Amino acid sequence: MKILVADDESTPALFLRRTLERLGHEVVVASNGLEAWERLQADAFRLVITDWMMPGLDGLDLCRRIRGRGDSSYIYIILLTAREGLQDRLAGLTAGADDFLSKPMDPAELAARVGIAGRIVAMQEELERKNVQLAELATTDGLTGLKNRRCFDEALTTACSFAVRCGYPLSLMMFDVDHFKTLNDSFGHPAGDSVLATLAEILRSETRDHDVVARYGGEEFTVLLPATVAEEASQLADRLRMTVRNHPWSQRAVTVSAGVATTGADLATGPALLEAADRALYHSKRSGRDRVTHHDSFQGEIASSHARDPMAL
């Protein structure tokens, strides 16, 4: 474990360093509270052992600063003190200390208290890992590993606001697997899932790192393309369509239809951009499938997604 020791007295600091290093820990020593605070900004420590009385920034103030950082990674704090009174202990706990170590220090007690700190830190790290996993599950589609609809909706709102504010174009592609229902009926849902997973990998591998690729729902996928004009987005959508068409599918040939929309005077919000791409996708479906339509390229009123004929998809 990486431990930060803060003590303005050289002899106790040397004792701590040598004892902790013999226990197998990596130790960094700061000669006062301010230096300890600076080291905490520059490096990651999970355990801080600090003296109470130090010039400039004492141990209580250092505890308060650590607790006020709001970091996701918890730092365990042991406060060194010769004070034994209840009020002193309460003051230390209120400031944010987790444990106390009496001065002069006993090596066996030091080892025991650091061992307790290590167990608590290990449990905290496991909790942090689980929280990260839960956060990923909340924003990730389980089948494809892409962003899910919830995450996409949030990204769309943010990207549209940024594009309008900064005057950058933002394009949105929507893809739908052609005749997906018949594929499932003919070869089973595992085969359909395999197609969706492969399509997700194609979209992910053929787009940029900062593009947002998501499974929108069922057999529909979306791709947000920041700083991408209509022509570039249409060309990319068609290249992806051809990649899907030419892929060596195991059961039968698979094709996709696509709709593309780009921000403009009439498309300045996420819902408007999404509806435009959806209409363009519907136009591709009604025009024969396996094709790309940009919202700006066709005329006439197209039925909204709420009025779709499910058998046409």
Catalytic residue list: 219
Query: What is d(CA 7, CA 186) in angstroms, rounded to the nearest whole number?
Result: 73
Length of the chain: 313
16: buried, middle or exposed (CB in 10 Å: 19+, 13-18, 0-12)?
buried
Which residues make Cβ contacts (< 8 Å) with residue 263, sequence separation at least 6? 160, 163, 164, 169, 170, 171, 273
Query: What is d(CA 265, CA 9) in angstroms, rounded to the nearest whole number?
Result: 67
Sheet with 256-262: strands ordered across: 212-217, 220-226, 170-177, 256-262, 292-294
Which of 10, 6, 15 minimizes the C-alpha distance to 37? 6
Cβ contact 49:12 at 8 Å? no
Which residues make Cβ contacts (< 8 Å) with residue 93, sequence separation at least 6? none
Which of 196, 195, 175, 290 minimizes the C-alpha distance to 249? 195
Cβ contact 17:27 at 8 Å? yes
